[in-house]
Structure 1
Amino acid sequence: MKIATWNVNSLKVRLPHVTEWLATNRPDALCLQELKLEDKAFPEAELEAVGYRSVFNGQKTYNGVAILSPHAMTDIVRDIPGFDDVQRRIIAATIGDVRIVCGYFPNGQAVGSEKFAYKMRWLEALTVWLREEMKSHPRLVLTGDFNVAPQPRDAHPDWKDEIHVSEPEREAFRALEQLGLEDVFRRFDQDDASYSWWDYRMGAFRRNFGLRIDHVLATKALAERCSACIIDKAPRRLERPSDHAPVVAQFDL
């Protein structure tokens, strides 16, 4: 089972990239973030034309998440249950016996800001909900744009901003791992300076000045069956790309 995550930074703009990538890579699930589309504008027909069904949770101009799959998806959940939030950041679905949770985690803006406090509340609520989800779904994947670089090696050495690399954010990431979720990218030998996001400015992609903030976390029952996890940089080289690259994990089920 191939599961991928990709912050597309506007599905309207990046739709040709997404349909081409789907046709070439044929994942069993592609989790998208930052759709920047209302549900009524979601391109279901275009995605069905390349063989993919969609479940989505959209919002005009900001946020928005979706899961695309050629397979049937059931038990759809939108947003974190019990967490009052106007921002559309979570969607979950079950494919076979695998529970997939797709999240667009808050950016946080700056450590100490109101947006950072919201980020920490959101992460806490997510962790509480996932603890319950994992009781009924031993095969669960949490994936998406986490907006957290969990270890020093996940950020360029010259990254000076506290956001994405602060200790509170990294502690929240560890709290997710302590639920029994594993960052499957780190099961394998990876190139030094492996990043999934690069700013559009100052030639960041060319210089590989980036962060690894897009992740695939899996329960033990799945992580032990993960045979590969890569960052696919090819879409970042396209004309008018997203600032993120897809992360792809293969599970031998």
Structure 2
Amino acid sequence: MIKIATYNINGINGRLPVLLRWLKEARPDIVCLQELKAPADRFPKAAIEAAGYQAIWHGQKAYNGVAILSRSWPIQELRRQLPGDKTDDSCRYLEAIVGKMVISCIYMPNGNPYPGEKFDFKVKWFKRLHTHAKSLLKHDVPVLLVGDFNVMPAELDVYKPEKYINDALFRKEIRAAYAKLLKQGYTDALRTLFPTERIYTFWDYLRFAWERNAGLRLDHFLLSQHLTSRLRQGGVDKHVRGWQKASDHAPAWIALR
């Protein structure tokens, strides 16, 4: 089995002990990290390697930054920007070949407040993702789009849908954009495994959201048809959210045959 995980770490250096503890406990083969909040020269390469992982990363000090870790295979970097806008210098996309699979690590723009420039940027970024994701399917290789999409695809993915009607993460335009990815030929792995369950990956720090399980499902695995038939297990390591100084996200994972 191949275990692949995604984790919005929300500041890799400040939460490095949490990350290392989880890596030791969960032992995923491949990990996609988002929201590093660290420039390239501050990525904790030595600590990650000491934990048994090699890594590539694309970081900046702002609320961005992505990385791919591998315990079992070498990482061949393909690109570190989503094509389609040469002026976009944000660190939100990282693509590599790992274990004969194309892994795209994604940190989608938040898009709030709606309406506004940030929401418009999110819509444009999604359109670029549509174009590139479709092009990846033209090659006869397994593809995974993995990460924090900042999208709640359906009402089942949010504890109180009525509260999020005008939130950029739940706007009908954004949910439609996510659905378009699936129509291109991708499978939502976690929803396939848990078709009727309220499975969450994020709990806000405010208003005792964790204690009340007032969560959202923002972190996703989209699989090409090469991998859909190999999907066997998956879940969210929810208990990690309760660790001291943990991220507001919990690690999510899938296992492939």
Question: What TM-score, normalized to structure 1?
Answer: 0.96
Aligned match of 1:79? 81
Aligned match of 1:103? 106
Shift of 1:72: 0.1
- Tell me which amino acid in the other structure corresponds to 1:114: E
In 2: Cα distance, 1:210 partner to 1:137 partner: 37
Aligned match of 1:155? 158
Aligned match of 2:201? 196
Deviations 1:37-95, CA, capped at 9 Å, x for gaps: 00011011100001100100001132000000022011431011232312110001111
Aligned match of 1:57? 58
Residue among 116, 120, 124 paired with 1:117: 120
Where structure 2 has 5 or more consecutive residues not aligned to the other structure, the ranges are: none
In 2: Cα distance, 1:159 partner to 1:200 partner: 20
In 1: Cα distance, 2:101 partner to 2:89 partner: 28
SS of residue matched to 1:244: coil
Aligned match of 1:20? 21
- Tell me which amino acid in the other structure corresponds to 2:188: D
Over 3 Å counting, the alpha-carbon distance change for 1:213 and 1:225 in structure 2 is same
SS of residue matched to 1:227: strand
In 1: Cα distance, 2:102 partner to 2:224 partner: 10
Shift of 1:137: 4.8
In 2: Cα distance, 1:197 partner to 1:5 partner: 12
SS of residue matched to 1:248: strand
In 2: Cα distance, 1:35 partner to 1:103 partner: 12
In 2: Cα distance, 1:137 partner to 1:83 partner: 26
- State whether structure 2 residue 177 is matched by structure 1 residue 172: yes
Over 3 Å counting, the alpha-carbon distance change for 1:190 and 1:236 in structure 2 is farther
| Displacement over 4 Å in runs of 4+ | none
In 2: Cα distance, 1:188 partner to 1:134 partner: 22
Aligned match of 1:227? 232
In 2: Cα distance, 1:20 partner to 1:240 partner: 12
Residue among 126, 134, 139 paired with 1:136: 139
Judge conservation of contact 1:98–1:137 (CA < 8 Å) in 2. no
In 2: Cα distance, 1:137 partner to 1:213 partner: 28
In 2: Cα distance, 1:188 partner to 1:122 partner: 28
Over 3 Å counting, the alpha-carbon distance change for 1:190 and 1:132 in structure 2 is closer
Between the two proteins, the alignment pairs up a number of residues equal to 252
Of all paired residues, the percent bearing the same amino acid is 38
Superposed CA RMSD: 1.3
Shift of 1:220: 1.3
- Tell me which amino acid in the other structure corresponds to 1:83: D
Aligned match of 2:33? 32
- Tell me which amino acid in the other structure corresponds to 2:116: S
In 2: Cα distance, 1:137 partner to 1:69 partner: 22
Residue among 149, 173, 180 paired with 1:146: 149
- Tell me which amino acid in the other structure corresponds to 2:37: K
Over 3 Å counting, the alpha-carbon distance change for 1:31 and 1:110 in structure 2 is same
SS of residue matched to 2:124: helix
Aligned match of 1:90? 93
SS of residue matched to 2:62: coil
- State whether structure 2 residue 234 is matched by structure 1 residue 213: no
SS of residue matched to 2:152: coil
- Tell me which amino acid in the other structure corresponds to 2:50: A
In 2: Cα distance, 1:51 partner to 1:180 partner: 34
Shift of 1:152: 0.7
Question: What TM-score, normalized to structure 2?
Answer: 0.94
